[in-house]
Amino acid sequence: MEIEIEIEKEKQENKTEIKKLFDQAEEEIDNNAIGLYQKIIQTKSSDSNENKIKEESIYLLSALYVKLKQADKIQDLLGSLHPFFSEIPKARTAKVVRKLIDAIREVPNTVELQIEESQKWIKWSTKEKRSFLRQRLQLRLSGLFLEHHDYQSALKTIKALVIEVKKNDDKLQLVETHLLESQIHHKLKNVPKAKGSLTGARTSANSVYCEPSLQAELDMMGGILHTEEKDYKTAFSYFFEAFEGYVSIANDLMGKKRLEKRKRKSAKEYDQKASLTLKYMLMSKIMMGHPEDIQSIINSKAGTRYLTREVEAMKSIAETYSKRSLIEFNQVIEEYDQELKQDPIVARHMNDLYDLMFEQNLIRLIEPFSRVEISHIAKLIGLPLKNVESKLSQMILDHKFHGILDQGNGCLIVFDGYEEGELYNNSLKVINNMSSVLESLYEKSRSLN
């Protein structure tokens, strides 16, 4: 009996010591707090309440390492937690591992380190037969490969995971897995497969509750894929749904009375996603040929909140498109290089828009002429002669107008189009039939010889 009392007394003293250290750490500045949190984590304990304090200390210590940009320290911390993992439930172990890898992610330029840690803990979870943790880490690893532009490794990882998750019939995880698979196929420029994966994600999403953030990601991907097919009207609808979703999430997070620093950061991230989605909405309107709608969208209640450089870039593009000014268009592209040229989704469509404006300007300029010097057109449009000549040649081949290039004299000769009448079509049929008859006669003569 006395021994049991002594053990209980020792546990109580230990518990008091951990709590004291935790309270003290919260009052200390960074470097002193780090030492106290490390001491708490290293203290042996099997009490559930004490383990909760240790778990919270792990998160707070990792946050300090993030602040100091010491990703290697987070890696060391994660590697030292094996004894602690044997004292807590598997679900909490999975939570700690994922949160610490998330913490490494917050330190800039650590993608390779995240890949290394994810692979290491996938091996550990496979050995320990912790399937849930392994699957979540494999999903994360595939996303990291995607971020690192290693698309084949990303696809290989996600394909194996899709097969396994389908067998488990985990609908929610299947939504996330198919969504990432769609994003990978899109990066590989395989739009049909990207659409197929997104359809799979939406099918699974219909039979399970999805978080608003996940639903917004699905809508965002839907919009991106529809822009690839130049269905800008449908794309705009999807982007609008995604935009409303991101704005709502950001508002909910900012509406909390006591907003933690982590949640404040999360709200900022959703605001950034909303701003990006608004940019794609405006791009869709421009590509639909409705640049006049841009101002009303920006002036809306939600739009005024996101007057970022990305939105300003699309507004400037809309203005140059309305003016049909290629010179101003190129100036805007150069001014907003990061927002337009460095965004692969926007850059692709800006190239299409440039070509469209180029062609429209050329057709407008050559319309009054039957014969005109190419150098004169280049001067009027304000672009190099070589570019104009190449574009005119392409437009003639694409039957955008009827004409020929007299390169010897440096002239464009334009003539009226002609309609293919019934006589022309009948003549072609007669010639084709005569060709068939002659070929058959030739074959017969060869067989006779």
Query: 415 in a domain, yes or no?
Result: no
Residue-level pLDDT at 417: 64
Task: Say whether both 96 and 129 belong to one domain.
Answer: no
Residue-level pLDDT at 258: 47
pLDDT higher than threshold 70 for residue 345: yes
Task: Say whether both 132 and 84 belong to one domain.
Answer: no
Q: Which residues span the domain enclosing 93?
A: 13-108
Measured CA to CA, the distance from residue 235 to residue 241 in angstroms comes to 10
Task: Say whether both 98 and 141 belong to one domain.
Answer: no
Task: Say whether both 64 and 137 belong to one domain.
Answer: no
Residue 209: Cβ within 10 Å count: 9
Query: 86 in a domain, yes or no?
Result: yes
Number of domains composing the chain: 3
Q: What mean pLDDT is predicted for residues 109-114?
A: 92
Residues with Cβ within 8 Å of 238's Cβ and at least 6 positions away in sequence, in order, are 219, 220, 222, 223, 226
Query: 177 in a domain, yes or no?
Result: yes
Stated as kind and residue range, the H or E segment containing 105 is helix 90-105
Residue-level pLDDT at 155: 94
Task: Say whether both 68 and 131 belong to one domain.
Answer: no
Task: Say whether both 95 and 156 belong to one domain.
Answer: no
Query: 174 in a domain, yes or no?
Result: yes
Q: Which of 74, 108, 142 is the last residue of a domain?
A: 108
Residue-level pLDDT at 23: 54
* Most confident among 189-198, 246-255, 300-309 (mean pLDDT): 189-198
Q: Which of 75, 108, 141 is the last residue of a domain?
A: 108
Residue 167: Cβ within 10 Å count: 8
Measured CA to CA, the distance from residue 220 to residue 239 in angstroms comes to 6
Task: Say whether both 95 and 130 belong to one domain.
Answer: no
Q: What mean pLDDT is predicted for residues 78-95?
A: 88
pLDDT tens-digit map of 245-303? 999 998 888 765 444 555 556 778 899 999 999 999 999 999 998 999 999 998 887 77
Query: 299 in a domain, yes or no?
Result: no
Task: Say whether both 96 and 172 belong to one domain.
Answer: no
